[in-house]
Amino acid sequence: MSGPDAETPSAIQICRIMRPDDANVAGNVHGGTILKMIEEAGVIISTRHCNSQNGERCVAVLARVERTDFLSPMCIGEVAHVSAEITYTSKHSVEVQVNVMSENILTGTKKLTNKATLWYVPLSLKNVDKVLEVPPVVYSRQEQEEEGRRRYEAQKLERMQTKWRNGDITQPILNPEPNTVSYSQSSLIHLVGPSDCTLHGFVHGGVTMKLMDEVAGIVAARHCKTNIVTASVDAINFHDKIRKARDRGREEAL
């Protein structure tokens, strides 16, 4: 997939060195850390694009991430290069393509670790329930718009078809037998703080994905009883916002 024009402001690149607290005991950077960096790049470029005209100010929220594969490991000490570009705009959504490369700064070797596609929706800063219109992106080739529209229509169809699956929750069983689903079933509790949240006071999609990756990793490690890594993540839809604890308390008090 190639975006409208890499020279336009619809492309950004950020880089960060990987530290021990980004990684597991074997030194592999967590899938969740990479997903969080991907989402950070996505929210910057989509929010910037959605505010590029003199309309109502907004923040773009993550609505969906397409399936992504973790193609090669990233290790402590390597530099993550995260590049993002807008590849399609519908009336109310922005498609962002994010590529992640790992660079060994001692040898100069670079490897592609991820390619991810994310969809953002702009919400008014004054009214978080108001979805705003997206300024259309300028394509350098007409086929890019047609290919983008096909991806947009395909994900809309997939969302309608999978809606019924979203209520599935497995209930925990007490004293489960080893190697059963219940045996490795796990949960995490996280108190949402200001650094987890957007300007609207909602938890960043990247923070949510990091938590999802952490708990999934615990389940996989409990089952396999060894070190594990994230190999791929299926498509994720963000149906509702997670609010900061203080905001929720204030709302309940009203």
* DSSP H or E segment with residue 14: strand 11-17
115 vs 241, beta carbon nearer ligand COA: 241
Selecting among 5, 24, 237, 247, the annotated active-site residue is 24
Active site residue 213: yes
Nearer to ligand COA, 23 or 244 (CB): 244
Dihedral of the alpha carbons of 200, 205, 208, 212, in degrees to the nearest 10: 170
User: Does residue number 198 form part of the binding site for ligand COA (CB under 6 A)?
Assistant: yes
Asked if residue 239 binds ligand COA (CB under 6 A), the reply is yes
Q: In angstroms, give the least distance from the CB of 117 to ligand COA.
A: 10
Window 50 to 69, contacts with ligand COA (CB under 6 A): 61-64
Q: Judged by CB under 6 A, which of 57, 115, 151, 159 binds ligand COA? A: 159
175 catalytic, yes or no? no
- What are the φ and ψ backbone dihedral angles of 245, each rounded to 5 degrees? -55, -40
244 scored as a contact of ligand COA (CB under 6 A): no
CB 103, CB 110: distance < 8 Å: yes
Q: If binding is defined by CB under 6 A, does position 93 make contact with ligand COA?
A: yes
Pairing relationship of beta strands 79-89 and 94-103 according to DSSP bridges: antiparallel
Where b means 16+ CB within 10 Å and e means fewer, 37-72 reads bbbbbbbebbbebbbeeeeeebbbbbbbbbebebee
Which residues, at least 6 apart from 195, have a Cβ–Cβ distance to it below 8 Å? none
Size of the site for ligand COA (CB under 6 A): 24
Q: Which is nearer to ligand COA, 139 or 238 (CB)?
A: 238
For ligand COA, the binding residues (CB under 6 A) are 61-64, 90-93, 119, 121, 123, 131, 155-156, 159, 198, 202, 204-205, 237-241
